């Protein structure tokens, strides 16, 4: 729609005032002119009558004596003095005296309307064009009475043009006065219109500020009580709106903070299946941007068929529903628990749906690890226990009398007990490390990492010699890090011990310590059997073995690499493994420099 181009209030009020005033002045002027014309007409009639009656009084005797010359002379002298044409007639219509013309040459006037009425004893007047004078004239005739009998008629006349001239002069003055009054009224109307519209314009400007969200200003308007009351009402409205909007903003900010802080994903959908709200957790889960998806159709935002079906079911269900589902983001598997419920307005009617997502991937992974751990530890403990139990039963069944076999059996039992001891000791060590990691009980002091590496190499040098493997160390000078010497030496010893166990005789194991990209880096490289790529992600789990048979034959509890991972985490570092099957492996520990 186009912009509303309505006129300002001033230009709506002012022209109306001005038009009403002009119409009123025109009406008054017209009425005054008409009344003035009527007044002059009546005044002229009265003046002509007075003059005619005066002359009629003077001509009674001359008419009786038939002194026509005296009458004609009277008409001429009196007509000049009073600026009026005077005509004297006999009852038969004959003119016997006239101010302007020779009576003998004038036609009979018995048929003139005013003469007819005057001969009947009435005073009469009329206006018509005079062929004698060639102008519009006003006539008035009075009878001349003698003993109650009409003996003649005196007629007075004056030019209508003279009357009109006087009226025109007066009309011009009226028009001029009206124009002056109109101008004054126009200025006065403009002032009054401005006085009325200015407070309203101030109110309009403040209302526009309110519409833009600025509620700090307050109206200070003077004028009529209605305008002042309106301004006060707007001020109160602004204050209330400011309080309400502040409250709404506060509540919305609190809601946004709560939604942003939630680990669970939340998405609200209206009845048209458009996204109303979505929190960062849900946006990360759906791989979208929070700001870009609000207002979009849920089909544009959610590209998982299972989730779309769940949302559709939620909007069609009166009850809350719940469902577990497995989704894939690329090659990553995610376990999701979805809760859905219908959104209702204040009137109880459905306005959409609310869906909450719980990412159970880590929990399911931990449950899987727990089950694997229980199964693995049970299996690891069951093997030596089963062996011990079997040999003890054999000894109890009579093999105890055979000294040679008894000693062999006891040596086997001793090895199995030692294996149990190693497993239990590593479990306890791992438990202590994890508890210390959680409670941050381990103190780290600045020290030379190269010294710790050399000590770990010395601890394993004898084993390397026995296995016919060359153990070498390489470093580029002192490397200072925050460390716990005993724990870090244990981790390095575990890595070197593993490298030796899985290396063939005649090969070498290299342990290096260098600075790289602002980090201290320790590498343990062997040339053994290597590890297949599918096993690398789970290599640091408890009791996880790549080759169970060969691993047990090599000894160990299956907890060494798990212990290494937690010790490195205590030092705020990370551990990584790179391996090619059949070519060897390298374990890399990275620690922040002191």
- SS3 of 1-34: CCCCCCCCCHHHHHHHHHHHHHHHHHHHHHHHHH
What number of other Cβ atoms are within 10 A of residue 48's Cβ? 25
Answer whether residue 438 shows pLDDT above 60: no
- Cα distances from 265 to residues 139, 350, 359, 367, in angstroms, run 111, 22, 8, 22
Tens digit of each residue's pLDDT (9 = 90 or more) over 199-246 = 777 777 777 777 777 767 676 666 667 677 777 787 788 778 888 888
Q: What is the pLDDT of residue 302?
A: 80
Q: What is the pLDDT of residue 510?
A: 92
User: Per-residue confidence at 391, pLDDT binned at 50, 70, 90?
Assistant: confident
Q: What is the pLDDT of residue 2?
A: 43
Higher pLDDT, 9 or 388: 388
| Poorest-pLDDT segment among 239-243, 388-392, 523-527, 532-536 | 388-392
Q: What is the pLDDT of residue 372?
A: 65
Encoded tokens for 229: 């009351």
**Cα–Cα distance for residue pair 495/554, rounded to 1 Å:** 14
Q: Give 526's Cβ-side CA count (13 Å radius).
A: 25
**Cα–Cα distance for residue pair 444/453, rounded to 1 Å:** 17
User: Per-residue confidence at 1, pLDDT binned at 50, 70, 90?
Assistant: very low
Answer whether residue 194 shows pLDDT above 80: no
Q: What is the mean pLDDT of residues 506-535?
A: 88
**Cα–Cα distance for residue pair 517/543, rounded to 1 Å:** 33
**Cα–Cα distance for residue pair 396/417, rounded to 1 Å:** 18
Pairing of strands 149-159, 135-146: antiparallel
Higher pLDDT, 389 or 527: 527
Higher pLDDT, 203 or 501: 501
Q: 496: Cβ–Cβ under 8 A, 6 or more apart, which residues?
A: 456, 457, 459, 460, 471, 509, 511, 524
**Cα–Cα distance for residue pair 500/534, rounded to 1 Å:** 22
Q: What is the mean pLDDT of residues 49-66?
A: 83
User: 397-414: buried (b, 16+ CB within 10 Å) or exposed (e) per residue?
Assistant: eebeeeeeeeeebeeebe
Tens digit of each residue's pLDDT (9 = 90 or more) over 93-115 = 888 888 888 888 888 888 888 88
Answer whether residue 69 shows pLDDT above 80: yes
Which span out of 101-105, 186-190, 325-329 was modeled with the highest average pLDDT?
Answer: 101-105
Higher pLDDT, 358 or 430: 358
SS3 state of residue 269: strand
Q: What is the pLDDT of residue 557?
A: 55
Answer whether residue 339 shows pLDDT above 80: yes
Q: What is the mean pLDDT of residues 502-509?
A: 88
Higher pLDDT, 235 or 478: 478
Answer whether residue 76 shows pLDDT above 50: yes
Higher pLDDT, 6 or 530: 530
**Cα–Cα distance for residue pair 319/336, rounded to 1 Å:** 20
Q: Cα angle at 154 between 152 and 155, to 5 degrees? A: 135
Tens digit of each residue's pLDDT (9 = 90 or more) over 276-285 = 888 888 887 7
Encoded tokens for 207: 């209302």
| Poorest-pLDDT segment among 131-140, 208-217, 517-526, 558-567 | 208-217
Give catalytic residues, as residue numbers. Answer: 379
| Poorest-pLDDT segment among 133-142, 458-467, 578-587 | 133-142
Answer whether residue 270 shows pLDDT above 70: yes
Q: What is the pLDDT of residue 551?
A: 45
- Residue 56, classified by CB atoms within 10 Å of its CB into exposed (0-12), middle (13-18) or buried (19+), is buried
Q: What is the mean pLDDT of residues 173-178?
A: 77
**Cα–Cα distance for residue pair 177/421, rounded to 1 Å:** 128
DSSP letter for 573, please.
Answer: -
**Cα–Cα distance for residue pair 361/355, rounded to 1 Å:** 18
- Cα distances from 378 to residues 53, 365, 383, 384, in angstroms, run 156, 19, 9, 11
Answer whether residue 286 shows pLDDT above 50: yes
Answer whether residue 553 shows pLDDT above 50: no
User: Per-residue confidence at 436, pLDDT binned at 50, 70, 90?
Assistant: low
Q: What is the mean pLDDT of residues 61-83?
A: 83
SS3 state of residue 356: strand
Mean pLDDT of the chain: 78
Higher pLDDT, 19 or 509: 509
Are residues 364 and 385 in contact, defined by beta-carbon separation less than 8 angstroms? Answer: no
Q: What is the pLDDT of residue 282?
A: 81
Could you give all domains of the chain from N- to C-terminal order, each with its CATH number?
A: 1-209 (3.30.450.20), 213-261 (no CATH), 269-354 (3.30.450.20), 365-438 (1.10.287.130), 442-592 (3.30.565.10)
**Cα–Cα distance for residue pair 490/569, rounded to 1 Å:** 14
Bridge partners, 139 (sequence order): 126, 157
Element (H, E) at 119: helix 113-119
User: Per-residue confidence at 511, pLDDT binned at 50, 70, 90?
Assistant: very high
Answer whether residue 263 shows pLDDT above 70: yes
Higher pLDDT, 334 or 222: 334
Q: What is the mean pLDDT of residues 464-469?
A: 89
């Amino acid at each position: 729609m186009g912009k509303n181009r309505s006129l300002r209030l001033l230009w709506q009020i002012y022209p109306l005032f001005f038009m009403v005033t002009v119409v009123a002045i025109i009406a008054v002027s017209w009425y005054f002119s008409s009344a003035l014309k009527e007044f002059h007409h009546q005044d002229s009639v009265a003046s002509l009558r007075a003059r005619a009656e005066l002359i009629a009084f003077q001509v009674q005797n001359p008419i009786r004596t038939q002194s026509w010359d005296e009458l004609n002379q009277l008409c001429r002298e009196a007509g000049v003095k009073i600026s009026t044409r005077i005509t004297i007639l006999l009852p038969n219509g004959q003119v016997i005296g006239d101010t302007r013309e020779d009576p003998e040459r004038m036609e009979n006037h018995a048929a003139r309307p005013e003469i007819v009425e005057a001969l009947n004893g009435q005073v009469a007047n009329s206006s018509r064009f005079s062929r004698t004078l060639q102008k519009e004239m006003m006539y008035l005739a009075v009878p001349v009475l003698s003993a109650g009998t009409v003996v003649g008629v005196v007629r007075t006349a004056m030019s209508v043009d003279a009357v009109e001239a006087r009226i025109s002069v007066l009309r011009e003055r009226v028009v001029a006065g009206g124009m002056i009054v109109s101008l004054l009224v126009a200025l006065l109307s403009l002032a009054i219109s401005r006085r009325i519209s200015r407070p309203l314009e101030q109110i309009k400007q403040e209302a526009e500020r309110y519409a833009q969200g600025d509620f700090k200003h307050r109206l200070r308007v003077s004028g009529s009580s209605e305008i002042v009351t309106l301004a006060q009402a707007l001020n109160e409205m602004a204050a209330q709106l400011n309080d309400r909007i502040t409250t709404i903003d506060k509540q919305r900010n609190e809601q946004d903070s709560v939604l942003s802080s939630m680990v669970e994903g939340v998405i609200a959908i209206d009845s048209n299946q458009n996204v109303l709200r979505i929190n960062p957790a849900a946006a990360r889960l759906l791989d979208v941007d929070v700001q870009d998806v609000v207002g979009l159709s849920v089909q544009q935002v959610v590209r998982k068929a299972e989730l779309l079906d769940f949302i559709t079911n939620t909007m069609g269900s009166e009850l809350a529903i719940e469902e577990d589902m497995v989704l894939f983001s690329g090659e990553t598997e995610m376990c999701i628990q979805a809760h859905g419920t219908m959104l209702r307005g204040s009137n109880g009617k459905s306005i959409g749906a609310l869906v909450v997502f719980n990412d159970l991937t880590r929990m399911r992974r931990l449950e899987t690890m727990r089950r694997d751990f229980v199964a693995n530890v049970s299996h690891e403990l069951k093997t030596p226990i089963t062996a011990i139990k079997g040999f003890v039963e054999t000894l109890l069944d009579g093999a105890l009398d055979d000294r040679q076999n008894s000693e062999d059996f006891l040596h086997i039992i001793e090895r199995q007990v030692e294996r149990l001891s190693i497993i239990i000791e590593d479990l306890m060590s791992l438990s202590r490390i994890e508890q210390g990691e959680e409670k941050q009980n381990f103190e780290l002091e600045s020290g030379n990492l190269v010294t710790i590496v050399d000590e770990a190499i010395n601890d394993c040098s004898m084993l390397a010699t026995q296995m016919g493997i060359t153990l070498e160390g390489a470093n580029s000078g002192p490397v200072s890090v925050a460390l716990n010497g005993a724990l870090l030496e244990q981790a390095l010893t575990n890595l070197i011990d593993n490298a030796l166990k899985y290396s063939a005789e005649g090969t070498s194991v290299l342990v290096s310590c260098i600075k790289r990209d602002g980090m201290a880096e320790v590498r343990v490289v062997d040339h053994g059997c290597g590890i297949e790529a599918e096993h690398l992600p789970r290599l640091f789990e408890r009791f996880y073995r790549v080759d169970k048979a060969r691993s047990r034959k090599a000894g160990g509890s299956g907890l060494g690499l798990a212990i290494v991972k937690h010790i490195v985490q205590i030092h705020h570092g990370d551990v990584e493994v790179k391996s090619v099957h059949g070519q060897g492996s390298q374990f890399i520990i990275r620690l922040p420099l002191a």
